[in-house]
Amino acid sequence: MNVTKSVRSQKTMHVAFSREMKILTIQDDSDVSEVALALAEDAIAAAVKFVEEEENPIKNIKWITHGEFTAERGRRQIDEFVSTWDCESHWVCYTEFVERKDLIHSFHYIYCVRWSMSTARRPMARVSAAVYFTIKINKGKPPDAPIDVSYTLEDQSLVQRPGMIRFREKWLTDIIETKNDILEILASNSIFIA
């Protein structure tokens, strides 16, 4: 973090945060206090995040190799990986094999993990959230090479990789809430929903 301190004759303070540069105009000493407070809050937030990640590291599993892969083993590996996600007990999920795509240099095995929340009021959930996994098997790689795994949530285009980002239960909750909101809007407009 680079900081250029200003004296009373200067009117600009340069503060560098990671990759972005912020230029602040200082009117009086109270502005300096606000900038210092903002810097301290940012530093504390970064420290808390660092400590949380050290105490609760991103979880991953040991994935099978190209030679060990079958469609069923891939499904079991996805189940094992999903079981490492920190979700409350009311979430239930199941994994199903969707399709195998034969591309020029690889096979893509597509799986869908469906999540839903059962409640006492509604034991059969009306909506579910889907997470789509792709296991890529390269035709030219040796049998001892690890498989390439990625996943996306149904409402996102961002491709995630296991072990790179911590899964957030909120992602599933947001999908479920959005679908429930849409169903309520449709129901209130007198559209029949089977």
Distance CA 167, CA 111 (A): 18
Where do the domains of the chain lie?
2-55, 71-165
Q: What is the pLDDT of residues 52-80, one digit of tens each?
A: 656 677 888 899 999 999 999 999 999 99
Tokens encoding 16: 């560098």
Distance CA 172, CA 156 (A): 11
- The mean pLDDT value for 171-181 works out to 91
H or E, element range at 31: helix 29-55
Q: Say yes or no to pLDDT of 86 above 50.
A: yes
Q: Say yes or no to pLDDT of 149 above 90.
A: yes
